[in-house]
Amino acid sequence: MPIAEPVLVALAGILGAMLGSFLNVCVYRLPRGESVVAPGSHCPGCGKPIAWYDNVPVLSYLALRGRCRRCGTAISAQYPLIELAVALVWAGTVVHWGAGWDALSAAVLTTLLLGMALTDARHYLIPDEFSLGGLGAGLALSLVPGGISPLASVVGAAAGFALLWVVKAAGDWALARGMIHGEELQQVLEAGEKPTTLGGGDLKMMAMVGSFLGWRGVLLTAFLGSLAGVAVFLPLVLLKRRSPIPFGVFLAVGAAVTLLVGDALVAWYQGMLVGSVP
């Protein structure tokens, strides 16, 4: 007997909440080079291990009113918010696509994108566990019938890496010839570091995006990500309040938009092109 859809949606939501809880651990520990398996969760205030009943996604935070049971140290609201967000993503993909390849692939990709956006925004780095691990997940999912073909997945991954490699090479070439100026560049040079325009994490991240969305998805993601990046950072540049740009955040937004409405956007654009021919 098939499982009723509301049950599937609820199960996906519960799974999402648990994965969101694990994502919190990954986002906190991976940039610090710590193991995501051991030791178990502990309070940053008193250092005591957190019991399983105080570690239930979202619910424990509400029950404890955002404080450690032992010492009363405030727990960041980011934890339950991420858990809730990933729960909604996993439930929402099943509502949108029905239980199947599309929902699973979209939920896995979105969860990884969220993790990358968080670490890039906070630490300016994208852990290999997310990018290369996600690339492996994308390639593996392409072997499951129902979605992108294995060939399209490999081509997409190569396209994502190649596209950003070219952008990075061009940017670094311009940097090396003094065609790009700026205060931070001066600081980087004074610190004796080699300046670079894009981090290697961005390249690996786009390879991962390509393994899920194919080469068309890569192009659209890069386009939308750049658009979002310019829209947010141009005002900051004009106000002279510049800081390093966590480009991965914008690529994550671009990939999420591509995932949701990419096909519709491409169809609309092609329609416009065809419509413009007399």
Quote the least distance from Cβ 48 to Zn ion, whole Å: 6
Q: Which is nearer to Zn ion, 69 or 168 (CB)?
A: 69
Residue 125 to residue 203: CA distance in whole angstroms: 12
**Cα 37 to Cα 9, 22, 23, 87, 126, distances in angstroms:** 28, 9, 12, 21, 19
Quote the least distance from Cβ 71 to Zn ion, whole Å: 3
Q: Which is nearer to Zn ion, 46 or 234 (CB)?
A: 46
Q: Which is nearer to Zn ion, 73 or 78 (CB)?
A: 73
Q: Which is nearer to Zn ion, 61 or 212 (CB)?
A: 61
Quote the least distance from Cβ 70 to Zn ion, whole Å: 5
DSSP for 201-270, please give it.
Answer: HHHHHHHHHHHHHHHHHHHHHHHHHHHHHHHHHHHHHHTT------HHHHHHHHHHHHHHHHHHHHHHHH
Quote the least distance from Cβ 247 to Zn ion, whole Å: 36
The first and second tokens of residue 195, run together, are: 């300046």
DSSP state of 42: B
Quote the least distance from Cβ 99 to Zn ion, whole Å: 39
Residue 148 to residue 151: CA distance in whole angstroms: 8
Q: Kindly give the interhelix angle for 78-97 and 101-123, rounded to the nearest 10 degrees.
A: 150
Quote the least distance from Cβ 64 to Zn ion, whole Å: 10
Burial of 172 (0-12, 13-18, 19+ CB in 10 A): middle
Quote the least distance from Cβ 73 to Zn ion, whole Å: 5
Q: Which is nearer to Zn ion, 48 or 242 (CB)?
A: 48
Q: Which is nearer to Zn ion, 52 or 173 (CB)?
A: 52
Residue 133 to residue 97: CA distance in whole angstroms: 24
Q: Which is nearer to Zn ion, 70 or 216 (CB)?
A: 70
Q: Compute the residue count for the chain.
A: 278
Site for Zn ion, rule CB under 5 A: 43, 45-46, 68, 70-71, 73
What 3-state DSSP class applies to 68? coil
Q: Kindly give the interhelix angle for 200-238 and 128-142, rounded to the nearest 10 degrees.
A: 120
